């Protein structure tokens, strides 16, 4: 084990940032052993340092320079959300050759191609496992496990908030606004929940996954998007009598015209109809392996924090390798 810490700066310390720290606290000795050096969260950027938080950190700051311009910080974890100022912060971190981890699907859907090019140019790492499907470790699986295969179809449930709302409306007859409030209280929803219920959040994830799976430059304009706002509990109750279960389904094929997010009414024989609550699911059809299916928690602090943690550990290994090369 090396003595020098690998130092991490967080941009944001809300649901996901705190979930990451909780995850590290649960496994701290083992994580440091696996990396080969102690992992230290140096400080986090927030809007309000006085806000009460269930998880604490010794140092919070409202000035992004305390993280971006601190030469001791090796890894920048962007978990603040939104396009701006996150865009400028991630760009600056990559330019300064810090390892970057982000869970921000909006930012990646809008600027991921530019960030990837910049990371290649500066020779630094850009990792984003937490940006799609919460705790399901799918990006590494696609990048490594399916590296020789060809994905022919993506289908799945990519938003935990809407699946939670639809499940409660279907199972309990709850109304839309009550279910949405519960999803917000659980930390599943985006800061602006319109992103979830309009289908836009699922579309961002579909863009990121389509790029990974099909190796094409898909963008948000290529996705036909509709959400769940138009559904009410009476319509759901009527369809339930006919054996039809509402799910917000994301679908894509390599042809750009076939990329869409919208409500589908599934029979109970469809595997996706049984994915309930905050769970997400992904079904891939590939040329060599065939049909694959994953299911797991799609949102929430610990689930997403676990995915971000895997990226932080990979970034830490790169930091240590670079240090070894310098000496
Ligand atoms: P959140 O709970 O709203 O936390 C955001 C954090 O960023 C807060 O600590 C906030 O500070 C800080 N922040 C926001 N804007 C800032 C600004 N302009 N300057 C300084 N600090 C700022 O959000 P979250 O749920 O953790 O989500 C973070 C990111 O992860 C988003 O991109 C989201 O899409 C993604 N994500 C979330 C989940 C999930 O289940 N929640 C799952 C996967 C991915 P204060 O605390 O002081 O307000
Ligand atoms: N708001 C998102 C969801 C968070 O509900 O799926 C996880 O990306």
> How many angstroms separate the first and last alpha carbons of the chain?
16
Query: So what's the pLDDT on residue 326?
Result: 78
Nearest residue to 100 via CA among 325, 320, 312, 253: 312
Q: In this structure, are 87 and 197 located in the same domain?
A: no
Counting ligand 1 atoms within 8 A of each CB, the residue from 14, 23, 136 with the most, and so the one to mutate, is: 14
Angle CA(233)–CA(200)–CA(138) in degrees, nearest 5? 105
Q: Is 73 part of a structural domain of the chain?
A: yes
- Mutation choice for ligand 1 from 13, 16, 21, CB with most ligand atoms inside 8 A: 16
Q: Which tens digit of pLDDT belongs to each residue from 34-57?
A: 999 999 999 999 999 999 999 999
Same domain for 185 and 263, yes or no, is: yes
111 and 166 share one domain? no
Please tell me the number of the ligand nearest to residue 194's CA: 2
The verdict on 149 and 200 lying in the same domain is: yes
247 within a domain of the structure (yes/no): yes
Indicate the pLDDT class of residue 1, thresholds 50, 70 and 90.
low
Name the pTM for this structure: 0.98
How large is the average pLDDT for residues 296-319? Answer: 98
Whether 327 has a pLDDT exceeding 80, the answer reads no
Do 284 and 145 form a contact (C-beta atoms < 8 A)? Answer: no
CA distances from 56 to 17, 45, 146, 165 (A): 11, 13, 39, 30
Kindly state whether residues 202 and 226 are assigned to the same domain.
Answer: yes
299 close to ligand 2 (CB < 6 Angstrom): yes
Ligand 1 contact via 299 beta carbon (within 6 Å): yes
One domain, residues 123 and 188: no
- The DSSP 8-state label assigned to residue 187 in this structure reads T
Q: What pLDDT, on the 0 to 100 scale, is given for residue 95?
A: 98
Number of domains in the chain: 2
Q: Among the options 51, 52, 91, 205, which is catalytic?
A: 205
Residues 181 and 211 in one domain: yes
Alpha helices in 36-79 (DSSP H): 65-68
**Least confident residue range of 1-10, 174-183, 189-198, 216-225:** 1-10
Task: Tell me how long the chain is.
Answer: 327
CATH (domain of 66):
3.40.50.720
Query: Which residue ranges are tagged as binding site?
Result: 12-17, 105, 190
What's 163's domain CATH number?
Answer: 3.30.360.10
Can you tell me which residue has the tokens 């919070």? 60
- Same-domain status, 88 and 204: no
pLDDT tens for each residue of 235-292: 999 999 999 999 999 999 998 668 999 999 999 999 999 999 999 999 999 999 999 9
Same domain, 265 and 309: no
- What confidence tens digit (pLDDT) does each residue in 199-210 have? 999 999 999 999
Is residue 101 lining ligand 1, measured as CB closer than 6 Å? Answer: no
Non-local CB neighbours of 320 within 8 Å, separated by 6+ positions: 2, 6, 35, 36, 37
DSSP for 129-145, written as a single string: GGGSSTT--HHHIIIII
Q: What mean pLDDT value characterizes the chain? A: 97
Let me know if residue 1 belongs to a domain. Answer: no
Q: Is 112 in the pocket of ligand 1 (CB under 6 A)?
A: no
Residues 17 and 58 in one domain: yes
Residue 276 included in any domain: yes
Q: Is 116 a catalytic residue?
A: no
């Amino acid at each position: 084990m090396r003595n020098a810490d690998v130092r991490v700066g967080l941009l944001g310390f809300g649901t996901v940032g705190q979930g990451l720290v909780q995850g590290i606290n649960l496994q701290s000795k083992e994580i440091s052993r696996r990396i080969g050096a102690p992992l230290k969260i140096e400080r986090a950027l927030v809007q309000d340092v006085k806000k009460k938080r269930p998880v604490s950190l010794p140092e919070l700051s409202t000035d992004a320079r305390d993280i971006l311009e601190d030469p001791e910080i090796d890894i920048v974890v962007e978990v603040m959300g939104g396009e701006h100022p996150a865009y400028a912060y991630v760009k600056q971190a990559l330019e300064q050759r810090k390892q970057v981890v982000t869970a921000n699907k909006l930012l990646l859907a809008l600027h991921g191609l530019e960030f990837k090019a910049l990371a290649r140019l500066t020779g630094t790492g850009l990792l984003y496992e937490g940006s799609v499907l919460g705790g399901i470790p799918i990006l590494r699986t696609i990048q490594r496990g399916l590296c020789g295969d060809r994905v022919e179809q993506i289908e799945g449930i990519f938003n935990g908030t809407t699946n939670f709302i639809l499940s409660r409306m279907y199972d309990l007859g709850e109304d839309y606004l009550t279910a949405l409030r519960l999803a917000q209280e659980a930390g599943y929803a985006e800061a602006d929940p319109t992103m979830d219920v309009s289908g836009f959040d699922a579309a961002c994830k579909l863009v990121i996954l389509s790029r990974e799976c099909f190796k094409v430059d898909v963008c948000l304009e290529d996705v036909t998007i509709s959400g769940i706002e138009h559904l009410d509990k009476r319509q759901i109750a009527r369809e339930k009598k006919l054996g039809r279960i509402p799910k917000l389904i994301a679908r894509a094929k390599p042809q750009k015209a076939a990329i869409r997010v919208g409500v589908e009414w599934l029979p109970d024989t469809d595997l996706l109809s049984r994915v309930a609550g905050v769970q997400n699911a992904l079904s891939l059809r590939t040329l060599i392996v065939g049909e694959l299916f994953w299911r797991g928690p799609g949102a929430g602090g610990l689930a997403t924090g676990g995915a971000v943690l895997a990226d932080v550990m990979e970034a830490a290994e790169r930091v240590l390798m670079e240090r070894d090369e310098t000496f």
